[in-house]
Amino acid sequence: MKATLLTCVLACLYLTVFAQEKLEHPLIAEGAQLQWVDSSSAFTEGPAADADGNVYFTDQPNDRILKWSTDGKVSEWMTGTKRANGLYFDHDGNLLACADEKNELIKISPDKEITVLLKDFEGQRMNGPNDVWPDKKGGLYFTDPFYKRDYWSHSEKEIEQERVYYMAPDGSVKIVADDLVQPNGIIGTKNGKHLFVADIRDRKTYKYTINKDGSLSEKTLFVEMGSDGMTLDSKGNLYLTGRGVTVFDKEGEKLFNIPIPQGWTANVTFGGADRKTLFITAMSSLYTLDMNVKGI
């Protein structure tokens, strides 16, 4: 409680001190300022918006998912989430979650029923699915880095490589990238033709072409920066996290950076009724910023 209160106080002081410093760029709504929304979590991650624009995010250390509703209120949506981390909604309204408790990929229905989609690969325990993105066909791309958790009973990898996988609509799983150091953030373009993957430990983000069979090709270095989570807007600009949020255009040119009080940001997404609000998870807090552009 004390830590949460201190975080809140520091965030409020930061926002007060920098209240006169406007974030100016055509993508940002005129006069918009970073807004602190919530600091009730131990560590916020995995923001994802549903079809109505409500945003769900995880408090992994406390094994729960919180919900920001379009009326501006934050509430606890679910506990006992199998240590959900990265989130994304599928096309049927189910919440996909990378679940660290047992290194699984799960699906949570609107009535909070959990289905385990994946628990291993060829009989070996996953390192720890971290971020997930569903394609239009019902397949899922996800990253599998290794971040040792203090609640695990194991301490060693069963799969040495930290890879990117594709789960086809029929449930079969294949490796689509195994030459990265530590893949983390992942997001696909709206037209489903390209996939971005951040290699956080190697401080690089790559762009791939998505082939008809779900495989990836034409790996291209997009920017010399890694990321935890990431998102895209409707104009194709890519938003990377780490030290605040850094935005790049479709050619990989840096547009601007959004500084965050805690310094480190874990993830980012668009939400709100019009999908023009940027949601940022940073340490124990959730922030928003009004934008002139929609998310995908």
Tens digits of per-residue pLDDT, 170-216? 999 999 999 999 999 999 999 999 999 999 999 999 999 999 999 99
pLDDT confidence of residue 186: 98
pLDDT tier, 20 (very low <50, low <70, confident <90, very high otherwise): very low
pLDDT confidence of residue 263: 78
pTM of the model: 0.92
pLDDT confidence of residue 21: 54
Tens digits of per-residue pLDDT, 260-284? 987 789 999 999 999 999 999 999 9
Residue whose pair of structure tokens reads 């949601």 in the numeric block? 279
Compute the distance between CA of residue 69 and CA of residue 206 in angstroms, rounded to an integer: 33
pLDDT confidence of residue 262: 79
Does the structure show a pLDDT above 90 at 8?
Answer: no
Domain 2-290 has CATH 2.120.10.30: yes
β-bridge mates for residue 95, sequence order: 89, 108
Domain boundaries, the chain: 2-290
The region, left, alpha or beta by phi > 0 then psi within -120 to 50, assigned to residue 230 is beta
Does the structure show a pLDDT above 60 at 14?
Answer: no
* Mean pLDDT, the chain, whole residue set: 93
Name the helix (H) or strand (E) containing 15.
helix 2-17
Of 239, 270, 235, the C-alpha closest to 254 is 239
What 3-state class would DSSP assign to 140? strand
